[in-house]
Amino acid sequence: MGENTYLWIEDYLDLTIQEAKKSFDSGNFPVGAVLIDDNGKLIDSAHNLMLSKQSRVLHAEMNLIIKNQLILYENPDKYTLYSSLEPCLMCMGTAIINKIFRFVWAINDSWAGASNIYSMKSPYFSCYEINIVDSPSIALMKESRKLIVEWLKLNRPDLLLKMFV
């Protein structure tokens, strides 16, 4: 990606925030994700549909992976998954199994995030090379956090303190 890597990263993370807003507007927990190829091309975007579709697996990252499973299978190790929130165990594991090799998210999730999956002692996960890139944008981190806090206040105030301790 060259000199402008972080400019591109911010643009992609901004797209995840736009997707997260779609989630929020439809009553879902606000998470958005985009899939980018190794040339910097936007492949697809998705947002969380878990509540509106009444399915616990329809996280933004899972929707993205499911919609693009053929290209991920045919061209492994060429994609970066961007998310507005650190992926959970289900999403991170599915992304790793689908050979997504780089992950970037706007905000860490100390409650349910699974970035430590790559340090598992499992022989299966140790054969995958994973690259996690920290968000370079404090503004996008704040915007993602604001959406999540607002949603929690409206829908799940009991989780607010658990997620942001």
Looking at the annotation, which residues are catalytic? 61
In the chain the beta strands, taken as DSSP E runs, fall at 32-37, 42-47, 79-83, 102-105, 131-133
- How far apart CA 156 and CA 132 sit, in angstroms, is 29
Residues 6+ apart with CB under 8 A from 54: none
C-alpha closest to that of 89 among 46, 122, 57? 57
**Cβ(104)–Cβ(87) under 8 Å?**
no
- How far apart CA 7 and CA 73 sit, in angstroms, is 29
Angle between helices 60-67 and 5-25 (to 10 degrees): 110
106 alpha-carbon distance from chain centroid: 8
